Structure 1
Amino acid sequence: MKIMMMIKLCFFSMSLICIAPADAQAEGVVFGYKGKNGPNQWGHLNPHFTTCAVGKLQSPIDIQRRQIFYNHKLNSIHREYYFTNATLVNHVCNVAMFFGEGAGDVIIENKNYTLLQMHWHTPSEHHLHGVQYAAELHMVHQAKDGSFAVVASLFKIGTEEPFLSQMKEKLVKLKEERLKGNHTAQVEVGRIDTRHIERRTRKYYRYIGSLTTPPCSENVSWTILGKVRSMSKEQVELLRSPLDTSFKNNSRPCQPLNGRRVEMFHDHERVDKKETGNKKKKNQLK
């Protein structure tokens, strides 16, 4: 049980002391975002991290127009989230929220993945058409066979993000715990409705990539929501505030695409219906 927990922490990519499987557990390898332990060195910090340097399916990537293929066989994202218990955690290199059992599921290509946790990166790890945004949310799901699917949302500076507004007091408490010297604090959130996190979208991008921190394990299914959402500058700082200075900018640089396909889903029918409705309203006003 203890070994499995260590492996999960590693695969979830949310710990400063990344505990690799098996014989690497006792080594406590430290990785960071700059200097001798920065992203360019991850593959050399531990034999279990080699994929970070030699892998061909690495994440994040810059999603550029010329690399996108429209796939009419893709379906809209099917997610069902529910009420569940949640805990806000300072994992030193990011702020995360773990969910209890029954948080919900996402179905990708007829495969069911269960929602486990979500965490934030500032600034965004993925770029969209060459643009890096203020923040990125990763919702991490896992299938029964151990494979992972991540649904990511990009955020620009703008109006407040409603869910983070609800979490303000908890994030402030997490910051206060760090100032007291507790760098791995946990704050109980209680029962939350994870449906408030779900965002419908008529466009998304999908590709096969990797975890974005060591061990950079590959064959992760990535879904990047096409609509860029907003959070306030204060909320970005709130997500950074529990972290030490060296981890406030916790985004891995974009990795080579290496010939991978980035597929796009676009619900043109919903767009057409919306535009038709707007035209009817305008005609009625004339």
Structure 2
Amino acid sequence: MANPDLLSLIFTYLIVSSIALIMTCNADPSGDHEFSYEEASSSGPKKWGTLSADWKYCSAGKSQSPVNINSRKAKDQPNDLKMAYKEAPATLFNKGHNLVVQWQGDAGGIEVNGSTYKLVQCHWHTPSEHTIDGKRYDAELHFVHSNDQKQLAVIGVLFEVGETDPFIEKMTESKFKGLDADGSDLGKVSASSTTSGSKRYYRYGGSLTTPPCSEGVTWTVAANAKTISKDQIKLLQGAVDHEFHENARPVQELNGRTVTQFEDKEYALLYYLLIILNRLK
């Protein structure tokens, strides 16, 4: 007959191992190790690359994001961006260091240089991570897309304080408070209200702006800032952990990368026609 103590020990080991496996499979990639946005912290942005072997690009990478965009040096390129978003079920999650809207099903996406990317999620940073001509904005929203090869393309939308943002306004204040692991159901949501409206964009090759700082990300940053109210910024900041009220990574060196710019000529034509019509009234 087997030793009861030995059986008990084996049973306990199996239970503990199963729990550890479940925790690993459900872990947030940037939550495996603590990281901070405080420069003086031992886990601050300059230290991210030392916190885990998987995060080495945060320190050793040569194509990191965000960057400062010098509008005068940006090279012209043809418009290769097509956006086609649609309503799809979405859930709001609080990751502690940021708020994430995760889409389920087909929420549409973008086409960049002939490659199709499906919309996966979006999340906020306050203040903005990218700067234009040295100017940092009040907030930035990242729409993350993925193609069949698991390559990422992100659209960055900058915000400055002004009128309320309709995308956030559709979510009631209660959706942001008391979020648990299951998140908060938002119903059907479309990204079109926030991504549309800009007539000029900047493009460069970069990385994720949070650990593991993986490179090979195609960035498209809208040049025309949208507006967000002060109350909405407080709502975003108040929902995350206190130390992440400011969760913007400092700008990184370009290291010889080229930033290009292009214009949505169809939107630009409509924009100028509206101006002319308004003046004729």
TM-score (structure 2 length as normaliser): 0.84
Q: 1:113 aligns with which of 114, 117, 120?
A: 117
State how far apart, in whole Å, the 1-side matches of 2:247 and 2:274 are: 42
Q: Where does residue 55 of structure 1 map in the other structure? A: 61
Identity across matched positions, percent: 35
Greater Cα offset, 269-278 or 205-214: 269-278
Question: Deviation of residue 277 (structure 1)?
Answer: 6.4
In structure 2, the residue corresponding to 1:246 is in which secondary structure? Answer: helix
Cα distance, 1:135–1:280 mapped onto 2, change above 3 Å: closer
CA RMSD of aligned residues (A): 2.4
AA paired with 1:113?
Answer: Y
Question: Deviation of residue 198 (structure 1)?
Answer: 3.3
Question: Deviation of residue 148 (structure 1)?
Answer: 0.3
The number of aligned residues is 259
Q: 2:52 aligns with which of 34, 43, 46?
A: 46
Q: Where does residue 261 of structure 1 map in the other structure? A: 258
Gaps in structure 2 of 5+ consecutive residues: 1-20
Cα distance, 1:186–1:279 mapped onto 2, change above 3 Å: closer
AA paired with 1:254?
Answer: V
**Residue 155 of structure 1 pairs with residue 159 of structure 2:** yes
Work out which of the two has the higher radius of gyration on C-alpha atoms and give 1 or 2. Answer: 2
State how far apart, in whole Å, the 1-side matches of 2:277 and 2:144 are: 41
Gaps in structure 1 of 5+ consecutive residues: 18-27
State how far apart, in whole Å, the 2-side matches of 1:281 and 1:222 are: 34
State how far apart, in whole Å, the 1-side matches of 2:124 and 2:252 are: 19
In structure 2, the residue corresponding to 1:235 is in which secondary structure? Answer: helix
Contact 1:68 1:262 in 2 (8 A): yes
**Residue 212 of structure 1 pairs with residue 209 of structure 2:** yes
Q: 2:139 aligns with which of 103, 120, 135?
A: 135
AA paired with 2:176?
Answer: L
Question: Deviation of residue 189 (structure 1)?
Answer: 1.2
Greater Cα offset, 107-116 or 195-204: 195-204
Contact 1:113 1:143 in 2 (8 A): yes
Question: Deviation of residue 274 (structure 1)?
Answer: 4.7
State how far apart, in whole Å, the 2-side matches of 1:91 and 1:218 are: 22
State how far apart, in whole Å, the 2-side matches of 1:192 and 1:270 are: 23
